[in-house]
Amino acid sequence: MAGSATSYAEFYRRSIEQPQEFWAEQARLIDWQTPPRQVCDDSRPPFTRWFVGGTTNLCHNAVDRHLKDRASQTALICVSTETDTEKTYTFAELHAEVQRTAAMLQALGVRRGDRVLIYMPMIPEAAFAMLACARIGAIHSVVFGGFASVSLASRIEDAQPKVIVSADGGSRAGKVIPYKPLLDEAVRLSSHKPQAVLLADRGLAPMDRVPGRDHDWAPMREKHLHAQVPCAWLDSTEISYTIYTSGTTGRPKGVQRDTGGYAVALAASMKHIFEGSAGETYFSTSDIGWVVGHSYIVYGPLIAGMATIMYEGLPIRPDAGIWWSLVEKYKVTVMFSAPTAVRVLKKQDPAFLKKYDLSSLRGLFLAGEPLDEPTARWIADGLGVPIVDNYWQTESGWPMITLANGVEPQRAKFGSPGVPMYGYKIKILHESTGEELTKPNEKGVVVIEGPTPPGFMQTVWRDDERFVNTYWKSIPGKQVYSTFDWGIRDEDGYYYILGRTDDVINVAGHRLGTREIEESISSHPGVAEVAVVGVADPMKGQVAMAFAVPKDSAVVGDANAAMKLEGDVMKLVDQQLGAVARPARVRFVTLLPKTRSGKLLRRAIQAVCEGRDAGDLTTIEDPAALEQIKALVKQ
């Protein structure tokens, strides 16, 4: 359909009104071992099953099927400005490495349906491990390499992996982060113990091996150098992976994804949204610990027959031209990043944008948090290419709202990610009545009516009830998927996202539950009570701000004692959740603002922190609590 005279409005209409025919067409973008018997089974809402009866394999579609025509073409480009290394793999070389890794996992006892938890930096072995799991039908669960032991332990406990794949360490801004001690502590804390741990030794940090459990990558790879491991043909509805996302409760939610629907969704998005073609190069600056890394560093570009860049490092090291030098060197055509990264680059010398030949670049896609107009204009002027905002979630797996320029070129509007993508029935509903808001610029909750399209989450791992209760029951009287985001739609049908309706905050594209941070701070013996809110930040989108009641009330009036306790609390959050969850500040008060029924007024705290009107405070038990916070914020 792309490239034809089809209007996007017609393309979208077909996806909604004739989903069976529409998605049968998209399914032809991938290889099937057995063609699907039924395109969509929506007989048990909200559990939608796609391409029922079909068998396929993600690794086959990402690697093997390209060997006939492009075996010698570059597939994976791994660049680390942390270790000053650069290595490329052709499709043939990637195929060999993935088979070796698959054989290693099988030798450690991994079978179809088993879980493999991957806790790794941005190194080639991480991509090999993901693709190897997909190849043999094991379910991978990638945990961001910056996560601390307590967070990692909760994910080990939930995923129950047979094997964990990790490394000696990662590096950020030249500072080595040893992974092995964090991993060992996480395994100690978890009630589930893995059968084996496979370790890539980069020579960055010393590692203590646990005899009988820990295995080194290099000697095992040597043993399986000539391994030939065929792809396991999986049912389309079989699980490909789980990925954890922060909830409003401390327990992480494992977003569960299928195999066939995900492969089709990615293949279609590469064509209709990203306009990527085989033989070109795709550069996503994300991390494999986040869903963007799964969809658009590993699987999406490779399924499309593109080379994909995996980058370890900062956007300004060795200088602010590093990304653009890679665009020039590898003739990148499509790039995907986050608004936070662009805001970081905006503070650097603009000459870096003009230093390199960026003529290969056709567009920059930005997602992960709302894109503000000044940032969008600055990067659009600097690069001279279209800047395409896109809105989606870990749960959706691919963009929900953006512009499908591969179907029909569409006008971008600064501040809006665009229009609903094909397959997504997106509406704005009143939060308490469930009534659909159809007039322009009426603010409500952004929801999706079922059936959800291919690639969308199947359920919460091992917890169907939580899936239904969390996502499908939050709007009174309606079974619709809630994005938990406020939004408006303008007169042209373009959507604008206005922030969260729940207690999840977005720090530089990382979703964090304020409840998790509160639980961590509350575990400090010197803290009696705490409230954490997300506060708008010009650089990171949002930052966490904590207000705590100390057990020793004298701390509130003692600057030195407050500073020491704040430092201790920060350290604790670092240890338990990782640096990404550390609040920007922890401020101490004698009481927190609550309603008479004891409910914390987090929205009022957030409004005060952002210099907004705190709204109707007639329900507040003690107005002095909010006055204390106002005074602290002004300091």
CATH number, residue 580: 3.30.300.30
For 555, which DSSP code?
A: G
Same domain membership, residue 534 and residue 458: no
The structure tokens listed for 434 are 């469930």
Q: How many domains does the chain have?
A: 2
Maximum CA extent, the chain: 73
All residues at 6 or more sequence positions from 181 whose CB lies less than 8 Å from its CB, including other chains: none
Same domain membership, residue 513 and residue 628: yes
Mean pLDDT score, 37-56: 98
CB 180 within 8 A of CB 208: yes
| CA nearest to 268, candidates 431, 79, 30 | 30
Please check whether residue 127 lies inside any domain of the structure: no
For 103, which DSSP code?
A: H
Structure confidence at residue 248 as a pLDDT band (50, 70, 90): very low
% of the chain residues with pLDDT over 70: 96
Burial 432-460 (b: 16+ CB within 10 A, else e): eebeebeeeeeebbbbbbbbbbbbbbbbb
Which domain covers residue 468, as residue numbers?
427-500
CA 497 centroid distance within chain: 18
Q: What is the pLDDT of residue 433?
A: 92
Same domain membership, residue 474 and residue 454: yes
Is residue 517 scored above 80 in pLDDT? yes
- DSSP-derived 3-state class of residue 31: coil
What is the arrangement of strands in the sheet containing 541-550, beginning at the earlier edge strand?
A: 527-537, 541-550, 585-588
| CA nearest to 200, candidates 152, 133, 129 | 129
Same domain membership, residue 583 and residue 511: yes
Please check whether residue 581 lies inside any domain of the structure: yes
Q: What is the pLDDT of residue 556?
A: 92
Q: How far apart are CA 391 and CA 574, in angstroms?
A: 29
CB atoms within 10 A of CB 1: 18
> Which has more pLDDT, 24 or 485?
24
Pairing mode, if any, of strands 281-284 and 332-337?
A: parallel
The CATH number of whichever domain residue 433 belongs to comes to: 2.30.38.10
Please check whether residue 157 lies inside any domain of the structure: no
All residues at 6 or more sequence positions from 428 whose CB lies less than 8 Å from its CB, including other chains: 436, 437, 442, 443, 444, 445, 446, 447, 487, 488, 489
Q: What is the pLDDT of residue 542?
A: 87
CA 403 to each of CA 182, 493, 628: distance values in angstroms, whole numbers, following the listed order: 41, 12, 46
Segment 172-206, tens digit of pLDDT: 999 999 999 999 999 999 999 999 999 999 999 99
Same domain membership, residue 515 and residue 485: no
CA 542 centroid distance within chain: 16
CA 285 to each of CA 25, 80, 323, 399: distance values in angstroms, whole numbers, following the listed order: 31, 12, 9, 16
Positive/negative CA dihedral, 232, 233, 239, 244: positive
CB 511 within 8 A of CB 504: yes
Please check whether residue 325 lies inside any domain of the structure: no
Phi-psi sector, 588: left (phi>0), alpha (psi -120 to 50), beta: beta
Last residue of a domain, one of 500, 517, 551: 500
Spell out where 294-338 has E strands.
307-312, 332-337
Same domain membership, residue 577 and residue 480: no
Q: What is the pLDDT of residue 147?
A: 82
Q: What is the pLDDT of residue 2?
A: 40
Mean pLDDT score, 1-29: 88
Q: What is the pLDDT of residue 3?
A: 41
CB 163 within 8 A of CB 110: yes
Spell out where 113-195 has E strands.
115-119, 139-142, 163-167, 169-172, 175-178
Q: How far apart are CA 152 and CA 180, in angstroms?
A: 12
Please check whether residue 343 lies inside any domain of the structure: no
What is the arrangement of strands in the sheet containing 495-500, beginning at the earlier edge strand?
A: 425-429, 444-449, 481-489, 495-500
CB 282 within 8 A of CB 301: yes
All residues at 6 or more sequence positions from 233 whose CB lies less than 8 Å from its CB, including other chains: 33, 34, 55, 56, 57
All residues at 6 or more sequence positions from 119 whose CB lies less than 8 Å from its CB, including other chains: 142, 143, 145, 147, 152, 164, 165, 166, 179, 183
Q: What is the pLDDT of residue 500?
A: 74
498 phi and psi angles, rounded to 5 deg: -110, 10
Q: In the 3-class helix/strand/coil scheme, how is 204-228 assigned residue by residue?
A: CCCCCCCCCCEEEHHHHHHHCCCCC
Same domain membership, residue 537 and residue 475: no
Please check whether residue 443 lies inside any domain of the structure: yes
Mean pLDDT score, 97-112: 98
Average pLDDT over the chain, rounded to an integer? 92
Same domain membership, residue 549 and residue 489: no
> Which has more pLDDT, 531 or 330?
330
Same domain membership, residue 440 and residue 538: no
Segment 583-606, tens digit of pLDDT: 999 999 998 887 654 567 887 898
Is residue 621 scored above 80 in pLDDT? no
For 287, which DSSP code?
A: -
Positive/negative CA dihedral, 181, 211, 137, 111: negative
Last residue of a domain, one of 449, 477, 500: 500
Task: State the pTM of this model.
Answer: 0.85
Is residue 431 scored above 90 in pLDDT? no
Is residue 46 scored above 90 in pLDDT? yes
Q: How far apart are CA 376 and CA 361, in angstroms?
A: 16
Q: How far apart are CA 401 and CA 398, in angstroms?
A: 9
Positive/negative CA dihedral, 249, 251, 252, 254: negative
CB 525 within 8 A of CB 551: yes
Is residue 409 scored above 80 in pLDDT? yes
Strand-pairing partners, residue 429, are 436, 445
Pairing mode, if any, of strands 425-429 and 527-537?
A: unpaired
- Long-range CB contacts (< 8 A, 24+ apart) of 592-600? 592/529, 592/530, 592/531, 592/547, 592/549, 592/625, 593/620, 593/621, 593/622, 593/623, 593/625, 593/626, 593/629, 594/620, 594/621, 594/622, 594/625, 595/619, 595/620, 595/621, 596/621, 600/531
Same domain membership, residue 530 and residue 588: yes
Q: How far apart are CA 482 and CA 502, in angstroms?
A: 11
Segment 265-315, tens digit of pLDDT: 999 999 999 999 999 999 999 999 999 999 999 999 999 999 999 999 999
Please check whether residue 615 lies inside any domain of the structure: yes
81 burial level (CB within 10 Å; 0-12, 13-18, 19+): buried
CB 275 within 8 A of CB 362: yes
Same domain membership, residue 486 and residue 519: no
Q: What is the pLDDT of residue 619?
A: 54
Same domain membership, residue 493 and residue 520: no
Mean pLDDT score, 219-234: 98
Residue 33, CA atoms < 13 Å, CB-side half-sphere: 18
Mean pLDDT score, 132-144: 97
Please state at what angle helix 602-609 crosses helix 624-634, rounded to 10 degrees: 30
Structure confidence at residue 615 as a pLDDT band (50, 70, 90): low
Please check whether residue 591 lies inside any domain of the structure: yes
Mean pLDDT score, 400-411: 97
Tokens 């997300």, located at residue: 534
**Which DSSP string corresponds to 496-518?**
EEEEESSSEEEETTEEEEHHHHH
